Amino acid sequence: MIVDAYTRDRVAEELDAGLIGRSLHWHATLPSTNEEAMRLAAVGAAEGTVVIAEEQTAGRGRRGRGWTSPAGGVWLSVVLRPALPVGGLPLIGLAAAVAAARAIQSAAGLRAKVKWPNDVLVGGAKVAGILTEAGPAAAWTVLGIGLNANVPAALLPHATPYPVTSLLEQAGGPIDRGHLTVALLRELDHAYAVLRGNGRERVLAWWRECSDTLGRPVRVETMSRVVEGLAVDVDGDGALLLRTPRGIERIVAGDVTLSGAGRGARP
Ligand code: BTN
């Protein structure tokens, strides 16, 4: 087997794309694949267009944060034009987290879990993050996925409020990024098809199955407040439901940590 021959031709050939990946834009380096995919979406790029960069110099994370993206990772964005009600858009992120967890399992043989809303964990530490950004009037959405594949521990970000890892670190050796990317795009294609075909409940059931959040006491930091409670479920729009002393609280966006957990604790 060729280990980590990460090239456009290899991915395109092995993918035999459905909707996602039928147009593949490959760059050695970009500031951000999300930025480039948003530019392409705004000038009419077809749904399913994928932008991949071998490294990003200004990778974007959730809630205005940066995303460390050295060579060795899988950094990609997909142009979507979902005919979903606006309230359903967060489900794309949840579906993508499940797709990433499944791809990690099949391509790297590692058990991955999802942390609400759409972080992917291996060994209790974050290995992948997802950032969705919508265009004007939700005419398009860009789905960005960052996966710390063959990133050495020394190049992972350290000043994070949660533990971070890479597949290289977890597997004890390099994984084949071409194979991982193909698995990820295929899983995404499947999950997105199910979501568009009124399969919202199926996607939520998949998410619940690989959740690392449900059933645990958590602390959620939103833009305006901090809420602590027991994570009991996600609702039909992917919002997190917390049981608190005041009753059930519904959280639509925020960062989750275990209640009382400090730096280095397992999320
Ligand atoms: C998070 O904060 O967890 C989301 C991180 C998303 C990173 C990916 S890497 C590919 C795409 N391009 C970006 O600039 N960000 C996303």
**162 in contact with ligand 1, CB cutoff 6 A:** no
**Domains present along the chain, CATH in parentheses:** 8-209 (3.30.930.10), 213-258 (2.30.30.100)
CA angle 167, 182, 169 (to 5 degrees): 5
Q: Which atom of ligand 1 is nearest to the CA of 146?
A: 9
User: pLDDT band at 133, cuts 50/70/90?
Assistant: very high
Is pTM, for the whole model, over 0.85? yes
Q: What is the mean pLDDT of residues 239-257?
A: 96
**pLDDT score for 86:** 67
Residue nearest to atom 15 of ligand 1 (CA): 60
Residue nearest to atom 2 of ligand 1 (CA): 61
**148 in contact with ligand 1, CB cutoff 6 A:** no
Q: Each residue of 18-27: pLDDT tens digit?
A: 999 999 999 9
Mutate to test the pocket of ligand 1, among 55, 141, 145 (most ligand atoms within 8 A of CB): 145
**pLDDT score for 87:** 74
Which of 10-32 are b and which e, b meaning 16 or more Cβ less than 10 Å from the residue's Cβ? bbbeebebebbbebbbbeeebeb
Q: Which two tokens stand for residue 56?
A: 């990003």
61 CA to centre of ligand 1 in angstroms: 5
